[in-house]
Amino acid sequence: MGCCSPEYRKVVEAQEQKVNQNTNEKIPVWGKIVSISIFVGAIITFVLL
């Protein structure tokens, strides 16, 4: 397969789509919980001090 053959382009496009799907995942639930906890803790600390 050469670099310009139609089959090679199809394979590369399929790989690009697969990579793009993996990078577009949302933040996991535990990450959201940790982020919100830190944010709320910072606000409470700011208000109390």
Task: List, for residues 1-49, the tens digit of each pLDDT value.
Answer: 556 677 888 888 888 888 777 665 677 788 889 999 999 999 999 898 8
| Cα atoms in the Cβ-side hemisphere of radius 13 Å centred on 48 | 6
Residue showing tokens 């700011």: 46
**pLDDT computed for residue 35 by the predictor:** 92
Question: Rounded to the nearest 5 degrees, what angle is found at the Cα of 44, between the Cα atoms of 38 and 41?
Answer: 15
Coil, strand, or helix at residue 32? helix
**pLDDT computed for residue 34 by the predictor:** 92
Instruction: Please state the pTM of the whole predicted model.
Output: 0.46
